[in-house]
Chain A
Amino acid sequence: MAKIIVITSGKGGVGKTTTSASFAVGLASRGYKTAVIDFDIGLRNLDLIMGCERRVVYDFVNVIRNEANLNQALIRDKHIRDLFILPASQTRDKDALTLEGVSTVLEELSKTFDYIVCDSPAGIERGAQLAMYFADSAIVVTNPEVSSVRDSDRMLGMLSSKTKRAEEGRDPLTEHLLLTRYSPKRVARGDMLSLSDVNEILAIPLLGVIPESQAVLRASNSGDPVILDKESDAGQAYLDAVARFLGENVPHRFIEEKGNWLKRLLRFKEKEIS
């Protein structure tokens, strides 16, 4: 039985697809057979981030409508043998996804895969609801910014009531917070919500902090998920987050401002005074 992970956020543009791509690569490179599914019907982007946009022939909706079988639609990743991408349809409307259709696809994937990563669309419409419905774990991607935190809280409410696990009264899915686009420098200046602020408000276990990083745009430019850029801060932060997801005890990094000791000392003094 595969473990189903939903990457969700409510708000758009916070890093769901970046996270889905990097998590899928991270899990697959640890030897777990992994499928990553784009649930954003009509606005597919996972294929671009994974660098397989020119190899898309059939998609998720084709499979649901029995126009293609699953093996025809799954695209093998160019880097990792054990990783497959199921792209969203670019042309059909989002009502093309049905509960039965999604259920059938996930069941079939579950037979042979270890992990299924569901890249949720933004919003709270059908695509987002179906992406989370069958999940065993949820990674809530949040930016340290008021609208993103509010939307994440809304998603947490939905995760605890509108999923199969909740409806059947089984153990609730496990929730993980992934704080992305974090800038320790701006936090130190008092211009950005801190990790502890967000943690206090959302009150779910922290999976990791991904620093604001130029590597993320470079990665999407080239179509190689940022986790493959092992030199970069964001890439390392994703590697850490995947390790934590798999139960390893990895200390958090990239949450303190780099910089000279004098600056830190001054800031410390200032805190003492105020």
Chain B
Amino acid sequence: MSLSNKISKILDYFQRPEKTSRCAKERLQIIIAHERGSHNKPDYLAALQQDLLNVITKYVAIDREAVKVELERKEGFSVLELNVTLPNLE
């Protein structure tokens, strides 16, 4: 073991691990802000997925599993991710 390695090990010993309480607070702030705004609204993701599927099948023959809708909540905004796997068009 090199000297610098030893020193860094010793320093590590004195370093505090990352504080999980900060992580807890941030996660709570995001999820609660989101739930306060939306907990009375219906869960529309399933209906949205069905509608998207209907629109896409008007143009391309795809199967039901080919559309994935995901929602990620971030601070101040949400990301709606739409993932469509189209069949190989040859």
Q: List the interface of chain A (C-beta within 8 A of B).
A: 145-146, 149-150, 153-154, 157, 187, 189-194, 197, 200-201, 270
- Number of A-B residue pairs at CB separation under 8 A: 43
Compute how far the CA of A145 lies from the CA of B32 in the bound complex, rounded to whole angstroms: 14
Nearest-neighbour CB distance to chain A for B2, whole angstroms, equals 27
Q: Which of B12-41 contact A (CB under 8 A)?
A: 16, 19-22, 24-25, 27-29, 31-32, 35-36, 39
A154-B39, A197-B25, A201-B25 provided; 15 other pairs, C-beta below 8 A?
A146-B24, A146-B27, A146-B28, A153-B32, A153-B35, A187-B21, A189-B19, A190-B20, A190-B22, A191-B20, A197-B21, A200-B25, A201-B29, A201-B32, A270-B16
Chain B residues contacting A197 (CB-CB under 8 Å) are: 21, 24-25
Contacts of A189 in B (CB 8 A): 16, 19
Q: Report B-chain residues with C-beta under 8 Å of the C-beta of A146.
A: 24, 27-28
Q: Using Cβ atoms and an 8 Å threshold, which residues of chain A touch B27?
A: 146
Partner of A149, one of B20, B28, B36: B28
Nearest CB of A to B41, in Å: 13
How many angstroms from the CA of A254 to the CA of B51 in the assembled complex? 55
CA distance A190 to B16 in the complex (A): 9
> What is the bound-complex CA distance between A200 and B26, given in angstroms?
11
Majority SS at the chain B contact face: helix
Interface pair B28/A190, CB less than 8 Å apart: no
Q: Which positions in B face A, CB cutoff 8 Å?
A: 16, 19-22, 24-25, 27-29, 31-32, 35-36, 39
27 contacts between A and B (CB under 8 A): A145-B24, A146-B24, A146-B28, A149-B28, A149-B32, A150-B28, A150-B32, A150-B35, A154-B35, A154-B39, A157-B39, A187-B21, A189-B19, A190-B19, A190-B20, A190-B21, A191-B19, A191-B20, A191-B21, A192-B21, A193-B21, A193-B25, A193-B28, A194-B21, A197-B24, A201-B32, A270-B16
CB distance from A159 to the nearest CB of B (A): 13
Inter-chain contacts of A192 with B (CB < 8 A): 21
A192 and B24 alpha carbons, distance in the complex (Å): 8
Point out the residues of chain A lying under 8 angstroms from B21, CB to CB: 187, 190-194, 197
Of all chain A residues, which has the CB nearest B27? Answer: A146
**In the docked arrangement, what's the CA distance between A146 and B26, Å?**
10
